[in-house]
Structure 1
Amino acid sequence: MNVLKRVAKVAATGIAGTAAGVGLGTSWLVASTTLVTPIPRDDPLWNSATLKKLNILENPVLADICIKRIPLSKIRPELLQDEAKLTTEFARGVWTGWAFEPQRWLFTKIFRTPENSHLKFSRREIAESTFEIGTEFIDQFQVVEWSKNEITMREGVRHATRRRGKWTAGELELTLSTRFFKGRENVTDGSMPVPYLIERLHYLYARALVQSGSSALR
């Protein structure tokens, strides 16, 4: 679970500061996003062929969906004309935004080598990506499914994440759906893939990623 621990460490770094600052930042993220967990079994990602392939051991899964709704009037008009372009722009916003920046910087320092320098590491490279299937960035992420309103990617072999954008009643609904699981060992005691504290940090991090990604659409 080394990658997940690094993710949590970066999340902790990203929200560090004075006690008052952390409190205000946390309150703002909670107020501006909605977190759903556990996830209903009829959620489409449970039936994803990719998820079933990666979690072949059928280990316990920690699942959540983070949702942010934005009035269509606040979205750049050109994005409302092309659903695929809007979804791509949201993904770009997540991976080039302020919430992911500490992790992007750290993973670049850790994982970039002469052998994999062809992968996307910089903000500019990610910002120009169309996230087609097979796209790899920061050495840890790979796009495994793509449609005009959904992009699914994996980090290592441990979790699958789906980013989605859809219109409902004059609003744009953005979702970040994550599934964590242990992919390399058979879990027989029913334990979750990460400790409780890491789980709570992840929920805050997910809210920050959605908030950051949504800024790219305005």
Structure 2
Amino acid sequence: MGVIRKTLGTFLAGSIGSVAYLTSATNLTTPLPADDELWSSKSIATFNRHRNPTIQDVVWKRLPLSQIRPELRDNEEALATEFCRGAWSGYAYAPQRLIMMLANRGPKTRDQLFRQQQLAFSKYELGTKFSDHFEVVDRTSNAITVRCGGSPLEPGPRELDGLLVVSAKVDKDMGTVDVSLKTAFFNSVEPVGDGKKPANLAAELLHRLYSRAMVDSGVRRLTR
């Protein structure tokens, strides 16, 4: 969350217009509904085994299918993959992408993705690691679940652990597609008995603004 806070601060410093645009261009739901698919997923059961308090939200956007690239309109899996590519290869992740590449690329991470072009064309298959901070831990027909909060080289519990779910859902009757970035952050090291979340309110708000930028960035990949 610290890296997110720094990179977003750099990206949006003094830019009230950017904040206003992202707020109007994307939708935010928090907390997640009690019946959300994330809560019954194997990923949340594996990584938040203590059922600790979470910072939880989903940023989403609904688009007419007519605006989507024709080759993607009938394939939710392709939509989710392309949306994921746009999120991590686009403008929103650019500052963090550079910081991570300069800080983390080396012999131990040679099998990971760092460059923009790599992230722009990855299939984000199960086990894909990138920026020495993210790892794909689950895939379904329309969603990609990424673990964050620390290096994939150290897969154990983390004081700030997290799951990001990138998804795309087509409604053919309505002629629309919903794309979203769902997040849950938690302490996976030990049980938290006082209800304390893993980050303060300021970091939580910055994270949500960053998520809005990631969704906007991902959408651009679907419509061009």
User: Structure 1: 5+ residue runs without aligned partners?
Assistant: none
Q: Where does 1:9-158 land on structure 2 (aligned, <5 Å)?
A: 9-17=6-14, 22-155=15-148, 156=150, 157=158, 158=161
Could you say what secondary structure the match of 1:59 adopts? coil
Question: Could you list the per-position Cα deviations for residues 72-128 of structure 1 after superposition, in whole angstroms to 9, with x for gaps in the alignment?
Answer: 111110111322111110000000010011111111112112221221110111112
Instruction: Assess if the C-alpha contact under 8 Å between 2:167 and 2:180 holds in 1.
Output: yes
Which residue number corresponds to residue 169 of structure 2? 166
* Helix, strand or coil at the partner of 1:192: coil
Which of 194, 200, 211 is residue 199 of structure 2 equivalent to? 194
- Aligned to 2:185, which of 150, 172, 180? 180
Structure 2 runs not aligned, ≥5 long: 151-157
TM-score calculated relative to the size of structure 1: 0.93
Letter in 1 for 2:4: V
Residue 213 of structure 1, CA deviation? 0.4
Give aligned-pair identity as a percent: 39
Number of residue pairs matched by the alignment: 211
Supply the RMSD in Å over aligned alpha carbons: 1.2
Kindly provide the amino acid, as one letter, of the partner of residue 107 in structure 1. Answer: M
Return the letter of the residue paired with 2:199: V
Alignment partners' CA distance in 2, 1:129 and 1:87: 12
CA displacement, residues 149-174 of structure 1 (integer Å, 9 cap, x when unaligned): 11111013500110111123111111
Counterpart CA distance in 1 for 2:42 and 2:9 is 32
CA distance, structure 2, for counterparts of residue 61 and residue 208 of structure 1: 21
- Bigger drift between 43-52 and 110-119 goes to 110-119
CA contact (8 A) 2:93 2:214 kept: yes
Q: Give 1:148 deviation, angstroms.
A: 2.1
Structure 1 residue identity aligned to 2:140: S
Q: Tell me, yes or no, if structure 1 residue 8 matches structure 2 residue 8.
A: no
CA contact (8 A) 2:146 2:163 kept: yes
Secondary structure at 2:10 match in 1: helix
Residue aligned with 2:125, SS = coil
What's the secondary structure of 2:189's corresponding residue? coil
The Cα of 1:47 is off from its aligned counterpart by 1.0
Runs (4+) of structure 1 moved beyond 3 Å?
none
Distance in 2 (CA, whole Å) between partners of 1:128 and 1:33 is 25
Give the whole-Å Cα distance in 1 for the aligned partners of 2:19 and 2:131.
27
Q: Secondary structure of 1:216's partner?
A: helix
AA aligned to 1:72 is L
SS state of the match for residue 194, structure 2? coil
